[in-house]
Structure 1
Amino acid sequence: MKITKIDIFCADYDPQAPNEPVFIRIHTDEGICGFGEAGVAYGNSKHAAIGQLRDFASLIIGQNPMQIEKIWNRLQKETFWGLGGGTVIFSAISAIDIALWDIKGKVLRAPVYELLGGKMREEVRAYASQIQFGWDGDAKALVGVDAYAEAAQKAVSQGFTAVKVDPLQRDENGKKNYRNAGLLSSDKLKLCRDRLTAIREAVGESVDIILELHAKSDFCAALQISRLAEDLNILYLEEPFGPLNPDLMAKFKAQTTIPLASGERIYSRYGYRPFLESRSLDVIQPDIANCGGISEAKKICDMAQIYDVLVQTHICGGPISNAAALQIEAVIPNFCIHEYHVGNMTPFSRSLGIYDDAPVQGNIRIPDRPGIGQEIPEEIIQKCTFLTVE
């Protein structure tokens, strides 16, 4: 079996869409194809990912798609910049790796989880992610305080037993809230506390709250927030600040009682190593579509298990990213919880996949379909910005 061509396409046709996922489809000479996704659907890197995928695609034409480890190592070690890593390089490697696992599963007529050791669970617990944008499927920024409590209640009424909120991403009027200039003012701290308290009072003590900061705060501000939230039984605090200084996370952990999480901007085993060795994170959040794909994610999760660190895969892209995450979550013993993002509720996002693997009563059943268990409909592909490398 050989790789014959690679389609690269971006779902950029809907100006109202919450993101613009970048996908690939790898074709083989036996008519089997696999889908992958580069996890840069938000932010400012989609064109870089498309370009990187175009460069890498030319290197794997003619290769045997079943030799996943061989291809992964070639893309990292023989492309000069691969040894330096980073977002764009690893998002491209991830997309290719996911697609190769999809092909292998289809060839062997088995879900990827069977090839990784078999299922440990039939379904995964999911949480309602980013409720500061409501929980109605149209993802609009909420204002004030009470609306946060109402969004949390709505998620709980649908069966979710955990919610995630960034209480300071938007100000009291729903506009972007800038908060990375040192210590936070008393009014911002009060807004943060009021919103968290309202959510806790609305959902009760039996529902978990994940506190998200999106790395938009620095060390001092994150410490202020963690201290005002310590009595609210927070499940974990996500991305208190950026991950480029691992020593800083260890210092922060020594000053808070809230478990810490990070990982959507950490790539490969090499990126996670200092955080695991210092045990500064309690939950890691690798994004399968940018950490190095299924191959690398499994190794990262196995490394984390040595340190009793749990895994919540980061999911903020399209259905291929979600499908790949489910395959990993099915098999790892240190699984924590699955992210179901408010953006995934939109009609746009749900139209991108043939199958709608959405939570039912707060849980997602692991699909038994071959490969990663998800594909992009042909009518969607035809709407996308599209190029083919042969």
Structure 2
Amino acid sequence: MKIARIELFQVPPRWLFVRVETDDGLVGWGEASLEGHAEAVEGAFESLRDRFIGADAARIEDVWQTAYRLGFYRGGPVLMSALSGLDQALWDIKGKALNTPVWQMLGGMVRDKIECYAWIGGDRPDEVAEAARLRRDQGFRAVKMNATAELNWLATSRDIDGVLARASAVQAQGLDVGLDFHGRVHKPMAKQLAAALEPLRPLFIEEPLLSENIEGLAQLAGLTTLPIALGERLYSRWDFKPFLTQGIVDIIQPDLSHAGGISEVKRIATMAEAYDVALAPHCPLGPIAFASCLALAVSTPNFIIEEMSLGIHYNTGGYDLLTYLRDPSIFALTDGFVAAPTGPGLGVEINEELVREMARTPHRWRNPAWRLPDGSLAEW
């Protein structure tokens, strides 16, 4: 079962699919989407093709170690996203070869359904309330929303009251809510916001500070009882290690398309379990990334909730994770949960004809620029 072909497809809205075919005709799919940098990831695949065409597709760990270590320059979003897509595809192939789900090869079920949450937008309480109601009607029990709007270093009491009003409007719809700071605010504001939000008891506050500000995050962790979530911009177990050893994080959010794929995120999750830290994978992406998250969630004890980009998520132009599936019912949502996929491999069948058609015009998606009222740049 040798790797015979590795193909890449840029498809709307901003995704990069990986198709790996073996010499005996098995096909596995992965997702190496790195929002805004698809071309860089495609470039990283040049060396992966040179190294792994002709390699044994069943030796997933050997492929992972070879790709990671023999590149000499390790880690980072581009190289790890490329490796993630290849890793997912190889797990898909092995599952199909053995006619078993990926989660079965990861140790089997510890749960048979996976709770999911979705993103909502809106700047005013009435807007977020309506968005929350629509998500509730879709079947979600929890959502995530922007906590910070246009806040930066410091804010007035009116600004903070606005954050509380928006979060309360979502909770009034009967939904739990997580609040994403995007690493946009700075420590003085993050401290005030965390304190003000405590009575609302949100699911978590996400990236209250940028992950590179590890000292500030450590200080904030000592000031709030709210669960701190982070990790979408960390790419390996070594990146996560200081956050775990210093007791900074309560919920890790590695992205299976950025953090080394199924293989590495399983290791990260197991490491986090030893620190009593939960797993909630980041996934504002497509069907292959989401299926990979489900395989991990089904087989990982410290998993708690999964991000799901059902319907319009950010600026997706109407595309979502159902667009490229032959059978969208595989991700049906019931009372906030998606059932564990039971098919071989990742358990999803990709509409290859549609993928090839849509990839004829690469998407060239770029992160939008967010500006504060004074014109300064804000984190996306």
TM-score normalized by the length of structure 1: 0.86
The alpha-carbon deviation at position 298 of structure 1 amounts to 0.6
Q: Is the 8 A contact 1:164 1:212 kept in 2?
A: yes
The alpha-carbon deviation at position 198 of structure 1 amounts to 2.1
Q: Corresponding residue for 1:86?
A: 76
Alpha-carbon distance in 2 for matches of 1:344, 1:110: 32
SS at match of 1:117: coil
2:16 to 22, 25, 28: 22
2:105 to 107, 115, 120: 115
Counterpart residue identity of residue 88, structure 1: V
Q: Corresponding residue for 2:142?
A: 162
Q: Corresponding residue for 1:95?
A: 85
Q: Corresponding residue for 1:333?
A: 301
**In the alignment, does 2:38 pair up with 1:46?**
yes
How many matched pairs? 355
1:162-311 superposed matches below 5 A: 162-169=142-149, 177=150, 179-180=151-152, 182-203=153-174, 207-311=175-279
Alpha-carbon distance in 1 for matches of 2:92, 2:220: 40
Q: Corresponding residue for 2:116?
A: 126
Alpha-carbon distance in 2 for matches of 1:314, 1:147: 24
Alpha-carbon distance in 1 for matches of 2:337, 2:154: 38
Alpha-carbon distance in 2 for matches of 1:270, 1:375: 34
Q: Corresponding residue for 1:174?
A: none
The alpha-carbon deviation at position 143 of structure 1 amounts to 4.3
C-alpha deviations, 1:82-114, integer Å up to 9, x for none? x2x111110001000000001110111100011
Q: Corresponding residue for 2:368?
A: none
Counterpart residue identity of residue 5, structure 1: R
C-alpha deviations, 1:275-330, integer Å up to 9, x for none? 11112111101111111001101100000100110110111111000000000000
Q: Is the 8 A contact 2:92 2:346 kept in 1?
A: yes
Q: Is the 8 A contact 2:280 2:304 kept in 1?
A: yes
The alpha-carbon deviation at position 343 of structure 1 amounts to 4.7
Counterpart residue identity of residue 245, structure 2: E
SS at match of 2:71: coil
Unaligned runs of 5+ in 2: 362-380
Cα distance change on mapping 1:210 and 1:189 into 2, 3 Å: same
CA RMSD of aligned residues (A): 1.9
SS at match of 2:357: coil
Alpha-carbon distance in 1 for matches of 2:90, 2:241: 26
SS at match of 1:382: helix
The alpha-carbon deviation at position 229 of structure 1 amounts to 0.9
1:141-160 superposed matches below 5 A: 142-160=122-140
Counterpart residue identity of residue 260, structure 2: G
**In the alignment, does 2:282 pair up with 1:314?**
yes
SS at match of 2:173: helix
Alpha-carbon distance in 2 for matches of 1:102, 1:311: 22
C-alpha deviations, 1:130-177, integer Å up to 9, x for none? 211xxxxxxxxx3422121122233234432222111434xxxxxxx4
Counterpart residue identity of residue 243, structure 2: F
**In the alignment, does 2:342 pair up with 1:368?**
yes
Q: Is the 8 A contact 1:158 1:361 kept in 2?
A: no
**In the alignment, does 2:27 pair up with 1:37?**
no
Counterpart residue identity of residue 327, structure 2: Y
Counterpart residue identity of residue 345, structure 2: G
The alpha-carbon deviation at position 261 of structure 1 amounts to 0.3
Alpha-carbon distance in 2 for matches of 1:280, 1:39: 28
1:352 to 324, 333, 336: 324
The alpha-carbon deviation at position 364 of structure 1 amounts to 0.1
C-alpha deviations, 1:12-63, integer Å up to 9, x for none? 4xxxxxx3100110111110011010131x3x21111111123322211010
Moved >3 Å (runs of 4+): 342-347, 384-387
Counterpart residue identity of residue 63, structure 1: A
SS at match of 2:195: helix
The percent of aligned pairs where both chains have the same amino acid is: 36
SS at match of 2:134: helix
Q: Is the 8 A contact 1:168 1:188 kept in 2?
A: no
Counterpart residue identity of residue 114, structure 1: Q
Alpha-carbon distance in 2 for matches of 1:190, 1:289: 36
SS at match of 1:364: strand
**In the alignment, does 2:374 pair up with 1:385?**
no
2:54 to 53, 62, 65: 62
C-alpha deviations, 1:175-213, integer Å up to 9, x for none? xx4x44x2234443232122122223332xxx4221111
The alpha-carbon deviation at position 269 of structure 1 amounts to 0.6
Alpha-carbon distance in 1 for matches of 2:180, 2:311: 16
Unaligned runs of 5+ in 1: 13-18, 133-141, 170-176
